[in-house]
Structure 1
Amino acid sequence: MNQLTRIVSPALPLLVAAACDRAQMRFLDFFTANIRNPHTRRAYGRAVTDFLTWCADQGVSGLGEIRPLHVSAWVEMQTRSHAAPTAKQRLAAVRHLFDWLVTGQVVPVNPAASVRGPSHIVKRGRTPVLAPEEARTLLDAIDVTTPIGLRDRALIGLMVYSFARVGAALAMKVEDVYVQNRRLWVRLHEKGGKRHEMPCHHNLETYLHAYIDGCGLGEDPRGPLFRTIGRGTGELTQSPLPQANAYAMIGRRAAAAGIGTKVGNHTFRATGITAYLKNGGTLERAAAMANHSSTRTTQLYDRRSDEVTLDEVERVLI
Structure 2
Amino acid sequence: MPAIVADTHEDAAERFLEFFAATIRNANTRAAYMTAVADFLAFAPVAGLGSLAEIRSIHVSAYVEHVAARFAPQTVKQRLAALRGLFDWLARHGVLDHNPAAPVRGPAYSTKRGKTPILTAAEAKRLIESIETDSLVGLRDRALIGVMVYSFARISAAVGMDVEDLVQTAGRSWLRLHEKGGKVHEMPVHHRLLEHLDVYLAALGPQDAKTPLFRSARGRTGALTAERLTRFDAYAMVRRRAAKAGVVEKIGNHSFRGTGITTFLLNDGSLELAQEMANHASPRTTKLYDRRDDKITQDAVERIRIE
Which one of the candidate residues 283, 286, 292 is aligned to 2:274?
Answer: 286
User: Contact (CA 8 Å) 1:185, 1:200: kept in 2 or not?
Assistant: yes
Partner residue of 2:243 out of 249, 255, 258: 255
- Asked if structure 2 preserves the Cα contact closer than 8 Å seen for 1:161 and 1:204, the reply is yes
Q: 4+ runs of 1 displaced by more than 3 Å?
A: 55-59
Aligned pair 1:23/2:32, yes or no? no
Distance 2:94 2:256 in 1: 46
Indicate whether 1:101 and 2:98 are aligned: no
Cα distance in 2, alignment partners of residues 81 and 209 from structure 1: 45
Amino acid of the structure 2 residue aligned with 1:252: R
1:196-228 superposed Cα distances (whole Å, 9 cap, x missing partner): 111111100100001111221x43211000001
1:268 and 2:256 aligned: yes
Give the equivalent residue in structure 2 for 1:136.
Answer: 125
One-letter amino acid of the structure 1 residue matched with residue 302 of structure 2: E
Q: Deviations over 1:264-283 (max 9, x none)?
A: 00000000000000000000
C-alpha distance in structure 1 between counterparts of 2:164 and 2:258, whole Å? 26
Matched, 1:223 2:223: no
- Post-superposition shift, 1:55? 5.8
Query: Please, what is the CA RMSD of the aligned residues?
Result: 1.4
Aligned partner of 1:53 in structure 2 is 42
C-alpha distance in structure 1 between counterparts of 2:11 and 2:111, whole Å: 41
Deviation at 1:21, TM superposition (A): 3.6
User: Which residue of the partner structure matches residue 31 of structure 2?
Assistant: 42
State the Cα deviation string for residues 63-99 of structure 1 (Å, max 9, x = none).
1111111111111111112111111111111111000
Select which of 51, 58, 72 maps to 2:61.
Answer: 72
Q: Contact 2:3 / 2:51 at 8 angstroms: preserved in 1?
A: no
* TM-superposed deviation, 1:232: 5.0
Residue deviations 1:114-161 (CA, integer Å, cap 9, x gap): 111111112111110101100000011010111001000000011001
In the TM superposition, residue 37 of structure 1 has moved relative to its aligned partner by: 1.4
Q: What TM-score does the superposition give when structure 1 sets the normalisation length?
A: 0.93
Alignment partner, residue 149 of structure 2: 160
- Aligned: 1:114 with 2:113: no
Q: Which amino acid aligns with 1:255?
A: A
**Among residues 293, 297, 305, which one is paired with 1:309 in the alignment?**
297
Q: Which of 168, 174, 187 is the matching residue for 2:163?
A: 174
Determine the C-alpha separation between the residues in 1 that align with 2:275 and 2:153.
Answer: 12
- In structure 2, relative to structure 1, the CA distance for the partners of 1:62 and 1:44 (3 Å cut) is same
Q: Distance in 2 between matches of 1:158 and 1:93?
A: 31
Q: Distance in 2 between matches of 1:73 and 1:232?
A: 47
Structure 1 window deviating more from structure 2 (32-41 vs 12-21): it is 12-21
Partner of 1:238: 226
Partner of 2:135: 146
CA contact (8 A) 1:55 1:70 kept: no
The question of whether the paired residues in 1 share the 8 Å contact of 2:234 and 2:253 is answered with yes
The residue type paired with residue 47 of structure 1 is A
* Letter in structure 1 aligned against 2:181: G
Give SS of 2:232's match.
helix
Taking only the aligned residue pairs, the percentage that are identical comes to 54
Query: Match for 1:18: what amino acid?
Result: D
Mind listing any 5+ residue stretches in structure 2 that lack a counterpart? none
Structure 1 residue matching 2:193: 3-state secondary structure: helix
Question: Could you list the runs of 5+ residues in structure 1 that have no partner in the other structure?
Answer: 1-11
Deviates most, 231-240 or 283-292: 231-240
CA deviations over 1:28-53 (Å, ceiling 9, x no partner): 11111111211111111111122123
Contact 2:175 2:189 in 1 (8 A): yes
- Partners in 2 of 1:57 and 1:23 — Cα distance? 17
